């Protein structure tokens, strides 16, 4: 009887601690989506954290690897639905120019700050196999979830915004600086200060009186941008948040500033608001078409975008040349 009781307790503990599978995560996301406030981009969980409906829709897609991403993509054209093919093509083109590509997909907030029955890391269950496919194609990929999961709280993300926080930017910039392995002699002055913000999710949920939160900014006092830099950062608003001001919440305190301060040299940025699955690579091509020598001067391209782009981009993942042939 005693042995049976021990076995039952052990089974109960195992059931309680088991990680959610792909179908579980997809179903949990589907279940909460109808609870999102109408005519907003926001769902507020019982934990008080605001989540992007777009991110929840991405999580609801289920498995992505093995070509399944094509079937669940929102791409208007099926031939543009495969991010693996587009990223592999982009990487191969840059390799021909001796340019190194580092892909940085920003993980879902729910992966680090889970809700309901999810545990930290569960929301990565469909993304990790996709990342393995990208790596098998020779693509260097930095998964920030591996850095964020070392912390025990939601601090890597803004509570009221869809983007990562300054506390999330810092470890990613640390790791990128190590990988880039380029060092200049610029001495940038970094000033730390506290700021009160209302993120995009809070503003959407309650435009007249949005919730606020406090963040600690690391603001670089000098200009860190230079077209001649060997380091080019491209991507979506994760490359702009806390950097360009206005709806990006602060100035001179974003990812690019953090990288430049760590490597002691300026960087260049091509960032877009909205989907960066294709548009930002088109912008890169246009600039290179005007001045091919500009692109040849690059050593590293950092491509940073929300992981939801893998499925939620209406334009999909078009193969784009990096320069005129």
Does a structural domain hold residue 66? Answer: yes
Does a structural domain hold residue 298? Answer: yes
Domain count, the chain: 1
What local confidence, expressed as pLDDT, does residue 150 receive?
78
What local confidence, expressed as pLDDT, does residue 155 receive?
93
What local confidence, expressed as pLDDT, does residue 325 receive?
79
More confident residue, 324 or 312: 312
What local confidence, expressed as pLDDT, does residue 199 receive?
98
Confidence category of residue 151, pLDDT binned at 50, 70, 90: low
Using one digit for the tens of pLDDT, what is the confidence trace for 169-213? 999 999 999 999 999 999 999 999 999 999 999 999 999 999 999
Does a structural domain hold residue 14? Answer: yes
Does a structural domain hold residue 320? Answer: no
Confidence category of residue 10, pLDDT binned at 50, 70, 90: very low
Distance of CA 25 to the CA centre of its chain: 19
Question: Do the beta carbons of residue 107 and residue 145 sit within 8 Å?
Answer: yes
Does a structural domain hold residue 34? Answer: yes
Query: Is 0.85 surpassed by the pTM of this model?
Result: yes
What local confidence, expressed as pLDDT, does residue 283 receive?
98
Does a structural domain hold residue 322? Answer: no
- Asked whether residue 146 carries a pLDDT value surpassing 70, the answer given is yes
| pLDDT (average), residues 57-61 | 98
Confidence category of residue 2, pLDDT binned at 50, 70, 90: very low
What local confidence, expressed as pLDDT, does residue 20 receive?
83
- Asked whether residue 28 carries a pLDDT value surpassing 90, the answer given is yes
Does a structural domain hold residue 113? Answer: yes
C-alpha–C-alpha distance, residues 142 and 173, integer Å:
11
What local confidence, expressed as pLDDT, does residue 18 receive?
58
Q: pLDDT > 90: what percent of the chain?
A: 91
What local confidence, expressed as pLDDT, does residue 5 receive?
38
Using one digit for the tens of pLDDT, what is the confidence trace for 111-138? 999 999 999 999 999 999 999 999 999 9
Does a structural domain hold residue 318? Answer: no
Other beta carbons less than 10 A from residue 105's beta carbon? 26
What local confidence, expressed as pLDDT, does residue 12 receive?
37
Residue-averaged pLDDT of the chain: 93
Using one digit for the tens of pLDDT, what is the confidence trace for 234-292? 999 999 999 999 999 999 999 999 999 999 999 999 999 999 999 999 999 999 999 99
| pLDDT (average), residues 39-45 | 97
Show the domain range for 235. 2-312
Confidence category of residue 11, pLDDT binned at 50, 70, 90: very low
| pLDDT (average), residues 100-113 | 97
């Amino acid at each position: 009887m005693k042995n049976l009781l021990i076995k039952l307790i052990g089974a109960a503990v195992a059931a309680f601690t088991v990680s959610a599978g792909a179908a579980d995560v997809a179903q949990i996301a589907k279940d909460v989506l109808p609870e999102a406030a109408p005519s907003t981009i926001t769902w507020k969980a019982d934990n008080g954290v605001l989540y992007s409906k777009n991110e929840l829709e991405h999580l609801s897609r289920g498995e992505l690897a093995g070509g399944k991403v094509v079937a669940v993509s929102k791409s208007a054209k099926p031939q543009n639905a495969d991010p693996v093919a587009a990223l592999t093509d982009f990487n191969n083109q840059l390799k021909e120019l001796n340019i190194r590509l580092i892909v940085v997909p920003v993980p879902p907030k729910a992966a680090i700050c889970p809700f309901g029955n999810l545990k930290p890391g569960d929301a990565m269950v469909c993304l990790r196999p996709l990342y393995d496919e990208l790596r098998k194609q020779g693509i260097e990929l930095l998964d920030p979830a591996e850095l964020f999961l070392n912390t025990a709280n939601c601090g890597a993300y803004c509570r009221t915004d869809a983007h990562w926080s300054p506390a999330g930017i810092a470890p990613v910039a640390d790791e990128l600086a190590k990988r880039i392995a380029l060092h200049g002699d610029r001495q940038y002055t970094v000033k730390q200060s506290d700021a009160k913000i209302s993120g995009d999710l809070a503003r959407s949920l309650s435009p007249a009186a949005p919730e606020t939160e406090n963040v600690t900014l690391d603001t670089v006092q000098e200009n860190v941008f230079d077209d001649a830099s060997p380091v080019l950062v491209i991507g979506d608003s994760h490359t702009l948040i806390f950097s360009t001001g206005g709806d990006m919440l602060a100035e001179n305190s974003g990812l690019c500033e953090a990288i430049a301060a760590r490597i002691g040299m300026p960087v260049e940025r091509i960032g877009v608001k909205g989907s960066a699955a294709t548009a930002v690579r088109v912008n890169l091509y246009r600039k290179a078409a005007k001045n091919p020598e500009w692109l040849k001067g690059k050593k590293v391209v950092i491509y940073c975008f929300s992981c939801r782009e893998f499925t939620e981009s209406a334009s999909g993942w078009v193969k784009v040349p990096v320069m005129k042939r």
